[in-house]
Amino acid sequence: MTTSEADAPQFDVDVDFLTGQPYPLWAQARGECPVFQTHSTMGFTDRPTFVVTRFADVERVLRDTEHISSSINAEHIGQYMGELILAMDGQEHRSYRGLVAHAFRASQLEKWDDALVRPTIERLLDGIAPLGKADLAQAITSKYPVQVICGIVGVPLEDAAQFHQWSELINGGPMHPEEGMAASRAMRDYLAPIVEDRRVNPTGDLISDLVHAEIDGQKLTDEKIYGFLRLLLPAGAETTFRVMGNALVALLTHPDVMQRVIADRSLMPAVIEETLRWETSVTQVSRCATEDLEVGGCPIPKGAAVSVITGSANRDTERFDHADEFDIDRPTANHMAFGTGQHQCLGMHLARLELRVGLDSILSRLPNLRLDPDQPPPEIMGLAFRGPESIPVLFDPS
Ligand code: HEM
């Protein structure tokens, strides 16, 4: 099959990267041309780029390892992170994932619940509970998952802010290459003595796990260890921090739901899954076509970039009734917030644990929690990454 660019429906994505609201555009695309070509690539690739918006097509692309590759992820962010699990395919990916997956199993995470996750959120809440008012994004959600990841990785808590800064600079590498490379080197220099120490003195943290992990006599190379550690902070902290903000906005703007959850904490998993469906923090993942193929009736030529809109799939009315509404009583149906197929989020059990413990502690420690009527209401925004900049609230001091 040969395909010219002229065959593909065109649809321009004109949504601000940081502050935009893409859902109306995605709804229109799902109805009119669910797979379309775009020129808005944010400068990340010179390849022709196709956007996939419907649930069924998103699922198909993410599960198709025969015609679709993840290697495109090495072209932008991989340059700054190093050897990247997100950019691997096939056997290389299976072996690597096998080596790092151990630490992220639900059973392994139990040890972090009481030892790290709850103390971290409680300590942050100690700082605001007496005040009676706070910005939950600045004071809590932007700090909590980073501090948890630092604890799991095994770097000192006092370096969490430095880590956060490096990971933002690494993430921004495609836009600001010099700063991105400098942060990438600085993080490696910082981690090197810790990695060497854990080879000799394992402590049970993630770095110890990574340096000693072995399958069939095979261990991770240094480049793969540093590549994984450079990915973990942005992959683990930036994502969960934003989803937690989205969950708080959902509860604060649906006070009836918040009252039900305060009275009955068994509803918390439904709140978390519905938030992940309704407003996930990572709305898209990248792939490229290794063969000419057709998705949702649209021809995609070999070599093209494929932007897979998981956020749009989660609002597809073919899959979810009244999909734009936040409804914790909807029948359970798998959402796409963590992707699917071989690259499905490795940290999803950790994310769910952090969200459950974090939201539970906030509702317990901040009585009579409500939006601050004297501040602008929080707004979930952004194209590829979505979350609120601020969440101004009032509560009874304690
Ligand atoms: C709510 C929070 C999170 C969301 C929405 C999220 C979303 C995603 C998505 C959509 C993917 C698939 C990427 C692809 O198919 O190309 C992914 C992969 C991944 N995530 Fe998460 N993630 C979250 C939390 C975490 C956490 C807490 C960690 C670890 C600490 C983590 C680590 C990873 C890793 C290592 C991968 C790559 C897996 C692979 O390539 O095999 N994520 N995540």
Please choose from 59, 149, 343, 345 the residue to mutate so as to test ligand 1's pocket, defined by most ligand atoms within 8 A of CB: 345
The three-class DSSP label of residue 300 is strand
What pLDDT, on a 0 to 100 scale, did the predictor assign at position 7? 57
% of residues, the chain, pLDDT over 90:
73
Instruction: Calculate how far, in angstroms, residue 255's C-alpha sits from the geometric centre of ligand 1.
Output: 30
Looking at the domain assignment, is residue 360 inside a domain? yes
Going by C-alpha positions, the residue among 174, 96, 56 that lies closest to residue 343 is: 96
Looking at the domain assignment, is residue 16 inside a domain? no
What pLDDT, on a 0 to 100 scale, did the predictor assign at position 173? 86
Give yes or no for a contact between 236 and 145, defined as CB atoms under 8 angstroms apart: yes
Looking at the domain assignment, is residue 59 inside a domain? yes
User: Does residue 136 carry a pLDDT above 60?
Assistant: yes
Helix (H) or strand (E) holding 295: strand 293-295
The pTM assigned to this predicted structure is 0.94
Count other Cβ atoms within 10 Å, centred on residue 386: 22
Looking at the domain assignment, is residue 14 inside a domain? no
Give yes or no for a contact between 61 and 308, defined as CB atoms under 8 angstroms apart: yes
Question: Amino acid letter at 109?
Answer: L
Count other Cβ atoms within 10 Å, centred on residue 392: 20
Q: Is the C-beta atom of 350 inside 6 A of ligand 1?
A: yes
Taking only the tens place, the pLDDT of each residue in 162-194 is 988 898 888 888 888 999 999 999 999 999 999
Token pair for residue 8? Answer: 């593909």
Going by C-alpha positions, the residue among 331, 238, 312, 313 that lies closest to residue 281 is: 238
Q: Is the C-beta atom of 314 inside 6 A of ligand 1?
A: no
- Tally of structural domains, the chain: 1
Looking at every residue in the chain, the average pLDDT score rounds to: 92
Half-sphere exposure of 13 (CA within 13 A, CB side): 28
Of all protein residues, the one whose alpha carbon is nearest to atom 11 of ligand 1 is 345
Which range of residues forms the domain containing residue 317? 5-9+25-394
Instruction: Calculate how far, in angstroms, residue 351's C-alpha sits from the geometric centre of ligand 1.
Output: 9
Confidence band (pLDDT; 50, 70, 90) for 10? low
E strand spans, 115-162:
133-135
Question: Cα(first)–Cα(last) distance of the chain, in Å?
Answer: 68
Q: Is the C-beta atom of 232 inside 6 A of ligand 1?
A: yes
Helix then strand count (H, E) for the chain reads 17, 14
What pLDDT, on a 0 to 100 scale, did the predictor assign at position 16? 86
Of all protein residues, the one whose alpha carbon is nearest to atom 16 of ligand 1 is 285
Token pair for residue 245? Answer: 């903000």
Give yes or no for a contact between 248 and 362, defined as CB atoms under 8 angstroms apart: yes
Looking at the domain assignment, is residue 20 inside a domain? no
Question: Amino acid letter at 113?
Answer: D
Confidence band (pLDDT; 50, 70, 90) for 2? very low
Looking at the domain assignment, is residue 97 inside a domain? yes
Identify the residue with better confidence: 102 or 380: 380
Where on the phi/psi map is residue 375: left (φ > 0), alpha (ψ -120 to 50), or beta?
Answer: beta
Least confident of 9-13, 245-249, 343-347: 9-13
Give yes or no for a contact between 134 and 128, defined as CB atoms under 8 angstroms apart: yes
User: What 3 state SS string does 49-70 have?
Assistant: EEEECCHHHHHHHHHCCCCEEC
d(CA 303, CA 285): 16
Looking at the domain assignment, is residue 15 inside a domain? no
**Average pLDDT estimate for 219-247:** 90
Of all protein residues, the one whose alpha carbon is nearest to atom 39 of ligand 1 is 343
Q: CA 136, 339, 359 angle in degrees (round to 5)?
A: 25
What CATH number is attached to the domain comprising 99? 1.10.630.10
User: Does residue 67 carry a pLDDT above 60?
Assistant: yes
**Average pLDDT estimate for 356-363:** 98
Of all protein residues, the one whose alpha carbon is nearest to atom 31 of ligand 1 is 347
Q: Is the C-beta atom of 240 inside 6 A of ligand 1?
A: yes
Confidence band (pLDDT; 50, 70, 90) for 4? very low
Confidence band (pLDDT; 50, 70, 90) for 43? low
Of all protein residues, the one whose alpha carbon is nearest to atom 34 of ligand 1 is 346
The three-class DSSP label of residue 122 is helix
Looking at the domain assignment, is residue 260 inside a domain? yes
Going by C-alpha positions, the residue among 198, 206, 205, 203 that lies closest to residue 231 is: 206
